[in-house]
Structure 1
Amino acid sequence: MSGATGHALALQGIAKRYGGFTAVEGVDLAVERGEFLTLLGPSGSGKTTLLMIIAGFVEPSTGSVTLDGRDITALPPERREFGMVFQGYALFPHMTVAENVAFPLRVRRLGRAEQQAKVRAALDLVQLSAFADRRPAQLSGGQQQRVALARALVFDPLLLLLDEPLSALDKKLRAELQEELKALHRRIGRTFVNVTHDQEEALSLSDRIAILNRGRVVQQGRPSELYENPRTRFVADFLGKSNFLRGVGEGGGVVRAGGTRLRVATAPAGPVLLSLRPEKIALLPEGAEAENSVSGRIAGWSYLGAGFSLTVETAELGELRVALPSWGAALAPAEGLPVRLGWSAVAAVPVEDDQARAA
C-alpha cells in the first residue's frame, strides 16, 4: 500500500427525499483527513442512505458533497475512487482470493506485474497471503471480511467506506475484527467512514461518532464526549444504558426528584431530566456517605461474567439499574436484599427530553 494520507470529506445541507418520505434531512458533516468516523443510529435513521450518498450510489435531493474542497456531488461512483466494504462481503464465489482482490485492478487495466505486486501487498496487510489460492467458500466469515477489506484497499482509494462490515460475524469474532480494523486504520492513515447500529462497535473503533435519528445528525463528537455528556435522552439511551430521573432544578446544584434532593454539577432551573449511567452508581457499605444516596431492595439481577446487572427498587426514585463488577463484589446479589446506593454530583447529567417533545 502507498501509505498515502487521508482526504477530507464535507457534507453540506444534505437531504434525500423519496416522494413524501424524507430519509435524510439537513445534514452538515465534516470528516477530517485520516479520521475514523462512524455513522451510528437505529434502523431507519438514514445512516446507510447517507453512506450511499457519499459513495455516489444515491443522488441527494439537496446539498453538496466535497472532497478536499472539490465538489463531487455529481461525480459517478466509479470516478470517486472510494473503496467500499459491504455487509455481505460481495465476493465472487468462482474466483480465488487473489483474483477477488485483483478485480478492481483489472477494471483499471493495470499491468499484470503491478497487479500481482499490489495484491501481494494488500493480502499481507490483512494477513491472508497464505490463502491467495483459496475460494471464498473455503474461508471463515472473518477471513472473507479480510478479503473484502483487501479488495477495497488494493487500488489505493481516497476514502474507505464500510457498510456494517462486521454485522454478519459472531460476537467474539466481531470483537477480534474490531481490533484488527482499528489497527489497520492506524497503519495506513486513510480516512474511514463506517456505518453501524452497534454501539459498542462505534465506541471501540471511532475517532468520532455522528449519531443519527429520523434522518438528522442529533449529536457528534468523540466517543467519550457522547457517552459522558449526551445532549438528549435519545443519545443517552441509544449509546449505552441509562437511568432517567425527572425533577425540578432549584439552583445551587440541587435537583428535587421524587421527594429527595439530589446534588448535581449543573442543572437548569425548572423541570429537568437527568441521565445517570448504571456503572456510576455504587453499593454503599454500612455507615458510608455519598453526595447522593437512596435505599432500596434488589428486585432482579443477572450475572454477566465481568459484572452484575441489578434492578433496584427505591421509594424515592423508582427503579434504578446498577452495574457492578463481579470480581471482589461486596455482596452476593439476591432478590429482596436491602441495599444503599450512592453516586457523586457529577455522575448525573441533564439531558433534553426529546422523546417527550417528539410525542
Structure 2
Amino acid sequence: MSQAHALSLVGLTKRYGSFTAVNDVSLDVAQGQFLTLLGPSGSGKTTILMAIAGFVAPSAGAILLDGREITPLPPEKRDFGMVFQGYALFPHMTVAENLAFPLRVRGMERAERDTKIRATLDLVQLSQFAERRPSQLSGGQQQRVALARALVFEPNLLLLDEPLSALDKKLRAELQDELKTLHRRIGRTFINVTHDQEEAMSLSDTVAILNHGKLIQIGAPDALYDRPRTRFVAGFLGKSNMISGRIAERIGATARVSVGATTLTQRLATGATGDTVLLSLRPERIALLGDGETAENMVEGHVSAWSYLGAGHSLTVETTDLGSLRLTLPTWRAPFAPAEGLTLRLGWPSDAAAPVEDDGDE
C-alpha cells in the first residue's frame, strides 16, 4: 500500500446564490488520521466532502494535499477513493469485476489487477464471494465490497459519505469495529461524514463538529465530549444538563457560582466576579449520595421521570434552583427501584461540569 497523505482546507467556502452552505472552514487532516465531519442535516459536512472529492467547486478557499494545492483538479486527477451511502456497486458485475473496474480505467495489466483484487478481498474478508453479484450479498457484505473497490487502487485518501447509515444497528456496530481495524491495518488517511454521534466517537481519531456551515469545534472525541466549547457541541454529543449561574466569588482556579439560593463550587479558568456562566454537566458525572455521604456540590430533589436502559437507569430529578437534572445510574449499582416522587440527594465534584459558550443552539 502507498503512503498516507495529509490534507488541509484553508478558508473553504461554498455559496449557492445567497445561501452559504460552507462558511470559511479551515482544518488540517494529518497523515494516516481518521477524521469525521459530524453535524446535523444542513451543517455543510457533505458539501465539504464533495469539495474534497472534486465534485463541488468552492466559491472561495483552497484544498491542499501534502501542501500542494489541488483545488482546480478534477476528481479523476485527485486519485481519492470514495464510498457512498448507497454503495453504488455495478449490479451486472461480480464482486471481482467491481473491483477490477477502477484498475482497468487506470490501464493496469490483467495479472497485476488480479493480484490487487485478491489482496484487497482478503483485506475485507470477502475472498470467497469474488464471483457473486451484489444482489447475492447481504447489506454488510455489499458495504465491504464498496470499501474494497475504493481501496483496491491504493488511493491518496479514502472519503466515506455516511457509509453505514443504510445498515441496521447491530450490523452498523459490527462494521464500525471492522472499519476501525481496517484503518489501523492499512494506515491510510480516512475522512468520514456522518450525523451519528456514536459512530463518530467510536471510529475517529479526530472529530470536526459543524453547524450552519461553520466549524464549531475540532478535537479528539474524548476532549470534545468532556470539554465542549459551546452549548451546541455539548447537546449534540450527548445528553447534558445545562446550568446557568453567576460567579459570586473566585478563589484561584475555583469559583463559587450562585444559581438561585444554591451555591456551586466550580473549576473555572476564566471569568470574573459578577459574570454569568453556563455549565454543561453530563448525567453520568452526577452521583447518588447515600446517608452521610458528601460532595463538593450537593443538591436535593425528587424523581419526576425515569426509564430503564438495560445497563442503567435514566432519572430526571426536579430541584428547587437547578431545575430538572438528568442522571444516569448503573443498574448493578442502583440501591433502590426508581419511582416517581422519590427524594434523592445528588452530588458531583468541582471539575465535573464544563463551562460552555451560550451560542443559542441546543
- CA distance in 1 between counterparts of 2:218 and 2:260 reads 32
Report deviation, 1:315.
Answer: 1.2
CA displacement at 1:132 relative to structure 2 = 0.8
Say if 2:308 is the partner of 1:308. Answer: no
Once residues 352 and 333 of structure 2 are traced to their aligned partners in structure 1, the CA distance between those partners, rounded to angstroms, is: 23
Could you tell me how far apart the structure 1 residues matched to 2:260 and 2:83 are?
Answer: 50
Aligned residue for 2:184?
Answer: 186
Q: Give the match for residue 20 of structure 2.
A: 22
How far residue 306 of structure 1 moved from its aligned partner, in angstroms, is: 1.1
In the alignment, the residues of structure 2 paired with residue 137 and residue 328 of structure 1 have an alpha-carbon distance, to the nearest angstrom, of: 48
Match of 2:67 in 1: 69
Partner SS, residue 264 of structure 1: strand
1:347 partnered with 2:338 = no
Alpha-carbon distance between aligned partners in 2 of 1:257 and 1:95, rounded to the nearest angstrom: 65
Distance across 2 between alignment mates of 1:179 and 1:248: 44
Shift in Å, 1:100: 1.0
Which residue matches 1:6? 4
**Match of 2:264, as an amino acid?**
L
What percentage of residue pairs aligned between the two structures are identical? 69
Residue correspondence of structure 1 range 161-240 to structure 2 within 5 A: 161-240=159-238
1:313 shift after superposition: 0.9
What's the counterpart of residue 263 of structure 1?
265
Aligned mates of 1:254, 1:172 — CA distance in 2: 45
The letter of the residue matching 1:262 is L
Q: Displacement of 1:93 after TM fit?
A: 1.0
Rounded Cα–Cα distance in structure 2 between residues aligned with 1:258 and 1:40: 36
Q: CA offsets per residue over residues 138-164 of structure 1, 9 Å max, x none?
A: 111111110000000000000000000
Of 308-317 and 51-60, the range deviating more from structure 2: 308-317
Could you give the per-residue CA deviations for residues 286-319 of structure 1, whole angstroms, max 9, x where no partner exists?
1110111111111111111111111111112110
C-alpha distance in structure 1 between counterparts of 2:167 and 2:310, whole Å: 21
Which ranges of structure 2 fall in alignment gaps of 5 or more residues? none
* Partner residue in 2 for 1:254: 256
Aligned partner of 2:94 among 96, 118, 124: 96
Match of 1:51 in 2: 49
Residue equivalent to 1:337: 342
Q: Pick from 283, 298, 303: which aligns with 2:303?
A: 298
The amino acid of 1:235's aligned partner reads V
TM-score, with structure 1 as normaliser: 0.97
Task: Write the deviation string for residues 212-238 of structure 1: whole angstroms up to 9, x where unpaired.
Answer: 011010110111111111110000010
Separation in structure 1 between the aligned mates of residue 260 and residue 105 of structure 2, nearest angstrom: 66
**1:102: Cα distance to partner?**
1.3
Deviations 1:323-352 (A, max 9, x none): 111123222111111111111100111100
Give SS of 2:321's match.
Answer: coil
Alignment-mate amino acid for residue 172 of structure 2: R
2-side partners of 1:209 and 1:341: how far apart? 32
How far apart, in 2, do the equivalents of 1:122 and 1:306 lie? 38
Cα distance in 2 between the residues matched to 1:328 and 1:318: 25
Looking at structure 2, the residues matched to 152 and 263 of structure 1 have their Cα atoms a distance apart, in angstroms, of: 52
Partner of 1:276: 281
Q: 2:83 aligns with which of 61, 85, 109?
A: 85
> Per-residue deviation at 1:106?
1.4
Letter in 2 for 1:194: N
Number of paired residues? 355
Encode CA deviations 1:246-287: one digit per residue, 9 max, x unaligned. 100122211111320001111523111110000000111111
1:131-170 maps to which residues of 2 (within 5 A)? 131-170=129-168
For the pair 1:125 / 2:123, whether they are aligned, the reply is yes
Distance 1:172 1:325 in 2: 22
Look up the match of 1:32. 30
Partner Cα distance (2:3, 2:290) in 1: 53
SS of the residue corresponding to residue 164 of structure 2 reads: coil
4+ aligned runs moved over 3 Å, structure 1 = none
Amino acid paired to 2:31: R
Out of 321-330 and 158-167, give the one that drifted further.
Answer: 321-330
For 2:30 and 2:161, locate their aligned partners in 1 and report how far apart those are by CA, in whole Å. 19
Q: Per the alignment, in what secondary structure is the counterpart of residue 87 of structure 2?
A: coil
Counterpart secondary structure, 2:22: strand
Q: Give the residue type in structure 1 aligned to 2:212.
A: R
